Structure 1
Amino acid sequence: MTRPRPSRDGETTMPFADELIGHHTVQSLTRAIGAAAPDADLTALRAAPGQLDPLSLRERADLLRDALLTDLPGDYAALARTVRIARDDAPHFTGWLIWPVTSALATRAVQEGGAAPFDDAMDLLASLTGRLSSEFAIRTLLRHDLDRALTVIVGGWTGSPDADVRRLASEGTRPYLPWAVRVPDIMARPAVTVPILDALYRDESEYVRRSVANHLNDLSRDHPEVVVDTARRWLDSPDATTGRLVRHGLRTLVKRGHPGALELLGFAPAVLDVDGPQLDSDTVPFGGTVRFTASIRNAGDTPARLTIDYVVHHRKANGGQTGKTFKLTTRTLAPDERIHLAREHSFRPITTRRYHPGQHAISLQINGVESPRADFELTAPDTP
């Protein structure tokens, strides 16, 4: 399966829609469904390739979902039978064509109502998730009946022998799952997914544990105390992988300087002499680079464990500023020990950020404490 790819600043971006759901995807889906339901004329699916070009990835998945629901009328059970036949008999029934299939199953189960379609859709999504994650489609079921879905997830999926299903338990219920619709009940009930994470944080699969860490980080955006309390419980009886998972799960709170998260990871307040940041120029051309240096000395009489970040305060369109935090280093300094830091930061245009000319600034953030800012001017791009 094609995975999301990292952007220059470490965030993830979706590959282009044509790479994932293009004409070849529709053709494969039409062949598989046509073989599983030979009496269906599949008019909507056959027309779909001509409608793809202006659509985003999600819009393409929705288009094919709706085409399936149009071409395969009837109740949920009939749709599920067709999907199971395709799953079991079609060798190429895998990859990105699975997204609209799982979405169609979840949509029809909710439309029909009742426990039987809901439970069967949960089962089918779990059986298909190894072909392409069902994390997007499950949101429809979570929004419809969160408690019923969580009973299945906690009672069955978290103990599945299949790592893809266990990962679906965590990833599909993330509060801020990228490119997915929100689930209001998850947002409103901050600890409702913690039992899933409790069941999986020691999972044998790094693939699953990474999802748990990202889920924990999602929770930290709105409910930091729930996250810190959960991480503290895990660290009370850790295994060999718990520390790394917790550090990844608390990364946003550390960047925000949350005292509880910093304390939990051993970053206590320290007595420091900080010189910097000092910029190599107070003017940076659009598309150019600013270089800064700094030195930090432990002025206390005990070793100081430090997490050191830098914050770029970008100018916004309205003239204000908004900060984005970037990692520098983690160090332990003995009393009177000093470190020297140097870093370059690029203002090369990227798709995930728009730069506005005017005053910007850089500051350090050490164990959650921000240094004074060093200001500079980002010039406007050259125009013809």
Structure 2
Amino acid sequence: MEPLKEMFNESFYRRFASAFLKADANFDAEAFVKDVTRNMESFSLNGRLRNTSVVLHQHMDRDFESSLPVLYAAAPLLPRGYTALVLPDFVSLYGQEHFDISMQALRDFTSMGSSEFGVRTFIKADPKRALTIMGRWAKDPDVHVRRLASEGSRPRLPWSFKLDAVIQDPSLTRSILEELKADQELYVRKSVANHLNDYSKDNVDYLLALLKDWDVKHIHTGWIMKHASRSLIKKGSLAALELFGFAGGAHVEVKELSLKQEVLRLGDTLTFGFTLKSNESETRKLVVDYAIHYVKSAGSASKKVFKLKEVEMLPGQTMSIVKSQVIKDFTTRKHYRGKHLLEIMVNGVVMCATNFEIVI
């Protein structure tokens, strides 16, 4: 598979330069392509993105205010997607002294390629000013702008720096999340859930208090609440489990845990099964998960919890569960030889465990 950074290749840059030439007759397209592709192979994906912004600024040879109309004129001619993040990246680099028009530009460019990274520079510089503007975005008819209000203000957005002000005072984004908690668009609701899940790392009590104020029975709000609590549920937080009616489980048994194959190689399938029995005196809702302690390169282990299923069990009911998972490497997970621990969890509590071995 071609590396993601190859999105920024010479073909893309020629199209990019052509768009800016149409927007500005004085733009030297050939010189831009020559400069932006120089030493291109040494740059990572985000390195190419940033280099594009820097070289574009050099070749536009304008101050920020006079550059903006050119960006707006070129924008409709550019491909949508990740490469379009050049526009908000340019704004974040060179528009910091022009707060209001920069925020407006970020709002306008986000439908082409999200401004979620670019806007964070302005939140960091002046949290209350930026978040007040983003509070208005949360009411915008454009789904991309509404999502930006939540995604851009996440405390711990992947691939970006932390927003320390929001981590220290999570109430700064409360009005944005309240506005979006019943949004009709899944695209927006996913962002709100991820925003809230960020709080589970630094502000658990705040997150739980907020969720208790929301309506778990609302079709959209309830979905957000459930996904926002996923990390806490995996950890067995009783307060989080109780929000969704998952309680009890002390009198549930996990029996007959078995592996189809105890020694595996990359490409093999880990298949395991077990029996779940409820000895409870009343019907219980249960979250059943499994965890694998993956061996790391140095020999230590790292635990990863996987969702298995949610069940509602009657008193005395018995249920058989079988699960399969292919053993393969990902960009985020590499397998190493050694004994791995498999655990079965009910409502966040480890009920039983066994080992399997990967021999690569």
Letter in 1 for 2:54: D
Q: Are residues 311 and 95 of structure 1, via their aligned partners in 2, closer, same or farther at CA, if it must alter by over 3 Å?
A: closer
1:152 to 125, 133, 137: 133
Deviation at 1:107, TM superposition (A): 1.2
Q: Which residue of 2 aligns with 1:259?
A: 238
SS at match of 1:275: strand
Q: Are residues 97 and 290 of structure 1, via their aligned partners in 2, closer, same or farther at CA, if it must alter by over 3 Å?
A: closer
Q: Tell whether 2:50 aligns with 1:71.
A: no
Deviation at 1:56, TM superposition (A): 2.4
Q: Are residues 99 and 57 of structure 1, via their aligned partners in 2, closer, same or farther at CA, if it must alter by over 3 Å?
A: same
Contact kept, 8 Å, 2:328 with 2:335, in 1: the verdict is no
- Give matches, 1:85-104, under 5 Å: 85-87=73-75, 91-92=77-78, 94-104=80-90
Deviation at 1:93, TM superposition (A): 6.4
2:16 to 26, 29, 37: 29
Q: Are residues 150 and 221 of structure 1, via their aligned partners in 2, closer, same or farther at CA, if it must alter by over 3 Å?
A: same
2:148 to 148, 165, 168: 168
Contact kept, 8 Å, 2:258 with 2:272, in 1: the verdict is yes
Identify unmatched segments of 5+ residues in structure 2: none
Q: Tell whether 2:323 aligns with 1:326.
A: no
* CA-to-aligned-CA distance 1:276-325 (integer Å, 9 cap, x gap): 43223443334423322111111011001111000011122332222111
CA-based RMSD:
2.1
- Give matches, 1:270-349, under 5 Å: 270=249, 271-349=251-329
Q: Tell whether 2:61 aligns with 1:82.
A: no
2:182 to 180, 192, 202: 202
* CA-to-aligned-CA distance 1:120-168 (integer Å, 9 cap, x gap): 00001111111121112112222222221101111x2111111111111
SS at match of 2:95: helix
Q: Which residue of 2 aligns with 1:9?
A: none
Q: Which residue of 1 aligns with 2:95?
A: 109
* CA-to-aligned-CA distance 1:247-300 (integer Å, 9 cap, x gap): 112112111111111111111022112214322344333442332211111101
Q: Which residue of 2 aligns with 1:244?
A: 223
* Distance in 2 separating the partners of 1:95 and 1:359: 42
Q: How many residues align?
A: 357
Q: Which residue of 2 aligns with 1:190?
A: 170
* Distance in 1 separating the partners of 2:5 and 2:79: 19
| Identical amino acids, percent of aligned pairs | 29
- Tell me whether 59-68 or 268-277 shows the greater mean CA deviation: 268-277
- Tell me whether 122-131 or 91-100 shows the greater mean CA deviation: 91-100
- Tell me whether 280-289 or 203-212 shows the greater mean CA deviation: 280-289
Letter in 1 for 2:300: G
Contact kept, 8 Å, 2:241 with 2:347, in 1: the verdict is yes
Q: Which residue of 1 aligns with 2:117?
A: 136
Letter in 1 for 2:141: P
Q: Tell whether 2:42 aligns with 1:57.
A: no
Contact kept, 8 Å, 2:277 with 2:316, in 1: the verdict is yes
Deviation at 1:69, TM superposition (A): 1.8
* CA-to-aligned-CA distance 1:209-259 (integer Å, 9 cap, x gap): 1211121122222222222222221126x5332212211121121111111
SS at match of 1:192: helix
Instruction: Please give the TM-score of this superposition, normalised by the length of structure 1.
Output: 0.86
Contact kept, 8 Å, 1:272 with 1:298, in 2: the verdict is yes
- Tell me whether 117-126 or 222-231 shows the greater mean CA deviation: 222-231
SS at match of 1:193: helix
* Distance in 1 separating the partners of 2:215 and 2:352: 34
* Distance in 2 separating the partners of 1:319 and 1:140: 39
Contact kept, 8 Å, 2:143 with 2:188, in 1: the verdict is yes
Q: Are residues 24 and 96 of structure 1, via their aligned partners in 2, closer, same or farther at CA, if it must alter by over 3 Å?
A: farther
* Distance in 2 separating the partners of 1:176 and 1:340: 39
* Distance in 1 separating the partners of 2:83 and 2:328: 36
Deviation at 1:187, TM superposition (A): 3.1
Q: Which residue of 2 aligns with 1:123?
A: 104
Identify unmatched segments of 5+ residues in structure 1: 1-13
Q: Are residues 221 and 38 of structure 1, via their aligned partners in 2, closer, same or farther at CA, if it must alter by over 3 Å?
A: same
